[in-house]
Amino acid sequence: MMHQREYLPLRENALQQFQVRLAGGDRSFVVNSGESILSAALRQGVMLPYSCKNGTCGSCKGQVLQGEVHYPFHPPLALERSDLAEGFALMCQAEPIENLVISVREIEAVRDIEVRLLPARVLEKTILSSNVVRLRLKLPSAQRLQFLAGQYVDVLLQGGKRRAFSISSRPSLEDEIELHIRHIDGGDFTGFVFATLQLRDILRLEGPLGNFFVRNDEPNRPMIMMGGGTGFAPLKSMIEDLLENGDRREIHLYWGARTRADLYLDDLPSGWARDHTHIHYHRALSEEADPQWQAHFKGLVHDAVLHDHPDLAVFDVYMSGPPAMIDSARAAFRARGLPQDRLYYDSFEFGLDVPVRVLARPH
């Protein structure tokens, strides 16, 4: 049985390299000392699952079959004691201290997509609700951002800081992308976007990133797509891409928010459901019960899914939104029969920013 140390301080060692092999094949990569398994894998074109990259969401969980890892900064937040006992590790945090054999799902669909640094000019800034703004960003004419619907970009800020936002537009719009940005109290960047950012300003992006995209291994299996707040953004990209490509698999879209006003693009999914018989749109409001508006579930959005679908074994589930929603839904959906390997999610993490500035502003 392999051993796993939850925490070790950083050590002053000469550079070492460790071989990591994926179980079930001959694919392997090299990890430098002081480097996480995930970072090394991505650097060498081995696409492992991940989302938050800070140890809280659990998307990158895999099992260490041989060898030993450690966590240099803090114990892994998204692993239970039982996970540790069974040899599971968070690849975004774990560092090897010897050669490893790991069992983790490789995402082959994104392995050939280049992650790029790009400037983007603000074409449109539209206030969609009291706390959500839509940005349309124009990319350089000579540089295409190839991405899978559901992926995200990082906006690069001063001091090495960055903020991640899902791409809400479909991939076929090669020269521009759309972002839905929610204002966060105490968030310097989101405050800057709402109050200061102007048309024609330029932001610096890195992307595409993430492994949240529609799988096509079983094209006839129905899907449940569940979003909380601006978690609607990547689902919008996915659904528009599926529609554009003539995909007719059944989609049950659930969008949860606090109040009716927070469903900031409600007419759009309503139109999808009206125009396409295979799309079913469901609203869930946690803090509003409007007797004049019966077209919603009163409560949390994952409870709306459970209310409508007592058995989830036949579905693929895609969900995006705040960590509390993701955590509650993961446990509840698995208890209703959803296989773990058919649950895909993007956990939104909000953080405070350093003061920001745009890279360029036209005179």
For 241-265, give one letter per residue: b (16+ CB within 10 A) or e. bbbeeebeeebbbbbbbeeeebbbb
Sketch out the chain's domains with CATH numbers: 3-106 (3.10.20.30), 116-209 (2.40.30.10), 223-347 (3.40.50.80)
Tens-binned pLDDT, residue by residue, of the chain (363 aa): 445 554 444 444 558 999 999 998 889 999 999 999 999 998 887 888 887 788 888 889 999 999 999 998 777 778 888 888 899 999 999 999 999 999 998 887 777 788 889 999 999 999 999 999 999 999 998 777 889 999 999 999 988 889 999 999 999 987 899 999 999 887 889 999 999 999 999 999 999 999 999 998 888 899 999 999 999 999 999 999 999 999 999 999 999 999 999 999 999 999 999 999 999 999 999 987 666 677 789 999 999 999 999 999 999 999 999 999 999 999 999 999 999 999 999 987 655 444 444 455 444
pLDDT, position 4: 55
How confident is the model over 74-95, as pLDDT tens digits? 777 788 888 888 999 999 999 9
First and final CA of the chain: distance in angstroms? 64
pLDDT, position 310: 95
pLDDT, position 288: 73
pLDDT, position 277: 97
For the beta carbon of residue 188, count every other beta carbon within 10 angstroms.
Answer: 16
From CA 113, how far away is CA 17, in angstroms rounded? 26
From CA 36, how far away is CA 333, in angstroms rounded? 30
| Secondary structure (3-state) at 226 | strand
DSSP string covering 264-287: TTTHHHHHHHHH-TTEEEEEEESS
How wide is the angle at C-alpha 166 spanned by C-alphas 222 and 105, nearest 5°? 60
For the beta carbon of residue 23, count every other beta carbon within 10 angstroms.
Answer: 15
How wide is the angle at C-alpha 178 spanned by C-alphas 250 and 351, nearest 5°? 100
pLDDT, position 289: 67
How confident is the model over 113-156, as pLDDT tens digits? 888 899 999 999 999 999 999 999 999 987 778 899 999 999 99
Kindly give the residue spans of alpha helices, DSSP state H, lying in 93-144.
none
No. of helices (H) and no. of strands (E), the chain = 7, 20
From CA 148, how far away is CA 241, in angstroms rounded? 9
